[in-house]
Amino acid sequence: MDEEHRLYLRLGDKVFHANYGQWGGGVVVEEMTSVLIGGTCLVRILFEDGQQRTFNNDLDSDMCCYYFGIRRSHHSLFDAPGRRAYQAPKKIRKG
């Protein structure tokens, strides 16, 4: 990856568009990052309406999909497999 880009979305991220709810949820199905200086950084998202849409994925660009309403509905760091659900501590019975 080029050091010039700060990526917003990663392959497999689940997203939605804040302004186009009719598209439904989406998932990032492709990342494309140029290795050339000044090159583009794109993601392709497959939405529930069946359409694939391509967006700029560089947070340092004014054209980044984040600034146009694409939001993550989860992030892989927070939904790691094997994560344990919170359990209240057991009460000790006296008796």
pLDDT (mean) for 48-55: 97
State residue 84's pLDDT score.
45
pTM value is: 0.73
Q: How far is 28 from 91, CA to CA, in rounded Å?
A: 45
What percent of the chain lies above the pLDDT cut of 90? 59
The more confidently predicted of residues 28 and 77 is 28
DSSP secondary structure, 1-50, as one string: --TT--B---TT-EEEESS-GGG--EEEEEEEE--STT--EEEEEEETTS
Q: Is the pLDDT of residue 58 over 70?
A: yes
